[in-house]
Amino acid sequence: MKMRRLGKTDLMVSEVGFGGEWLERHPKEHSVGLIRHAHSLGVNIIDCWMADPKSRDIIGEAIAPCRGEWIVQGHIGSTWQGGQYVRTRDMRFVRPAFEDLVKRIGGGYIDLGMIHYVDSAEDWNACMDTGFIGYVRSLKDSGLIRHIGLSTHNPRIVAMAAESGFIEMILFSVNPAFDMKPASEDLNTMFAGYDEALSGIDPEREALYRLCETRDVGITVMKGFFGGALLDEKRSPFGTAFTPVQLIHYALTRPAVCSVLCGYDTPDQIDAAAAYENASDDEKDYASVIASAPLHAYRGQCTYCGHCRPCPKDIDIAMVNKFYDLAASQEEVPQSVRSHYLALGSKAGDCIGCRRCEPRCPFGVPIAERMKKAAALFGA
C-alpha cells in the first residue's frame, strides 16, 4: 500500500483508507475482522464520526494490538443522546462524547481531532465564536488530539478552513458527480430533480483543491462512491457505472487528496479497493467513462487522467498541467509549486509541439498550447 503525506500534519496515510460508517450493521466479531483485514493489506487510517458505543468499541478492539500503527480521525461534536446520534456544539454534550471516544478507541489520544460536519457559514461561525473552538484548541495543547481537522461537504467551508491557518487537514466528499455540481449546504438535495447533463468541474470545487494544495492542507475523502450510486448504472448521475478502482483514482488525482476512505461490508469489498495499488492504467481509467457517459458533456478541461502519455520527450503532461493550474490561479506563483515543478525530470519547455498527445485526450485539451503557457509561467 502506497502512503501519502497528509499535508502539514506530516502523517503518512495509506492511499486507501477505512470509512467506519457501516460497522454497526454487523456482529462485532465480523466488523473487527474487517478492520484487521484492511490493516493486513496496509490500510492505516480510519474514520470514526459515529457516536454510538458499538462502532467505537469495534474500532477500539480492532486496533488495540497495533494502536500506534493506526491514524484515527475522531470527531468532536458527534454525540450520543438518548440512543440517537446528535451533532452539536453544546459543550454539555461535546465534552463527555469526546472523552468517551478517547476511552473506547484506546491509546489515550486521537490522531486527527475533527471539527465535526460543518456545512454552512452559520455553523462555522457557531464553532468559531463559542467555547467549542477553545475546547478543540485545548485538546491539542494537552495532547489528547495531535492535529486539528474538519469535516464538510461544502467547498466554501473547505476554503474557509484552509485559509484559517490552524486547521491542518480536511475530510471532504469527493467524486466525479459532486465535483460537477455547485456548492450546496444540503448535500442530500444536490441531485434532487436532476435531469440535465453534468458539464465540467465546478470552478469553486476546482479552486478549493488548488487552495488546499498551496496551503499544504491535506484532504481525506468521504463519499468517494456516492453511497454506491456511481457503481450502479441505474443510479449513477452519469448514466453509466464506474469501478471502485476508477473512483479511487479519480479522487487521488485531485490536488491535495491523500487518502480515500471507503465503506466496507465484506472482506471482498476491501480487496476490491486495495486492488487499486496493483491496477493497470486501463483499470484506473475514469476519463473514458466520463467522456463517453450519456449524461455528461464538456471539453477542454484537464482532469489529470494521464491519457496523453507517452510523450517522446518524457514529459509528465498531467503533472505539468496540475502544477500550471495551481500556479495560474494565484497572483504570484507559490514557491512550493514552483519547486515541485522544477523538480520534474522533463518540463513544459521540453515540448517539441508534435501534438501526438492531443488525439489521445478524451476531453480535447489543447495540450501543446498549455505546455507553452506553463513554460512561460515557470520559465522552464
User: What's the total number of domains in the chain?
Assistant: 2
Report pLDDT digits (tens) over 77-117: 999 999 888 889 999 999 999 999 999 999 999 999 999 99
Domain match, 63 and 100 both: yes
Domain match, 59 and 195 both: yes
Q: Does 298 reside within a domain? A: no
Domain match, 136 and 245 both: yes
Predicted TM-score of the model (pTM): 0.79
Domain match, 265 and 333 both: no
The helix or strand, by DSSP H or E, that contains position 292, with its residue range, turns out to be helix 287-292
Q: Does 136 reside within a domain? A: yes
Domain match, 17 and 122 both: yes
For residue 115, the domain's CATH number is: 3.20.20.100
pLDDT at 191 exceeding the cut of 50: no
Domain match, 281 and 209 both: yes
Domain match, 371 and 267 both: no
The CA-atom distances, in angstroms, between 65 and each of 55, 105, 127, 356 are 17, 12, 35, 53
Q: If you count DSSP H runs as helices and E runs as strands, how many of each does the chain have, helices first?
A: 15, 12
Of the candidates 92, 85, 75, 76, the one whose C-alpha atom is nearest the C-alpha of residue 54 is: 85
Q: Does 329 reside within a domain? A: yes
Higher pLDDT, 24 or 54: 54
Domain match, 183 and 240 both: yes
Domain match, 125 and 212 both: yes
pLDDT at residue number 185: 52
In the three-class reduction of DSSP (H, G, I as helix; E, B as strand; rest coil), residue 152 is classed as strand
User: How many C-alpha atoms does 42 have within 13 Å on its Cβ side?
Assistant: 17
Q: Does 312 reside within a domain? A: no
The helix or strand, by DSSP H or E, that contains position 149, with its residue range, turns out to be strand 145-152
Report pLDDT digits (tens) over 254-277: 999 999 999 999 999 999 999 999
The residue range of the domain holding 50 is 3-292
Domain match, 61 and 119 both: yes
pLDDT band for position 223 (50/70/90)?
confident
Q: Does 299 reside within a domain? A: no
Q: Does 307 reside within a domain? A: no
Report pLDDT digits (tens) over 125-136: 988 888 999 999
Domain match, 223 and 332 both: no
pLDDT at 195 exceeding the cut of 60: no
Say what percent of the chain tops pLDDT 70.
92
Task: Check: CB of residue 133 under 8 Å from CB of residue 148.
Answer: no
Q: Does 230 reside within a domain? A: yes
pLDDT at 193 exceeding the cut of 50: no
CA angle 177, 203, 220 (to 5 degrees): 55
pLDDT at 162 exceeding the cut of 70: yes
Per DSSP, the residues of 110-144 read EEEEEE----SHHHHHHHHTSHHHHHHHHHHHHTS
Q: What is the mean pLDDT of residues 297-301?
A: 60
Q: Does 363 reside within a domain? A: yes
Domain match, 114 and 249 both: yes
- How much is the mean pLDDT over the chain? 89
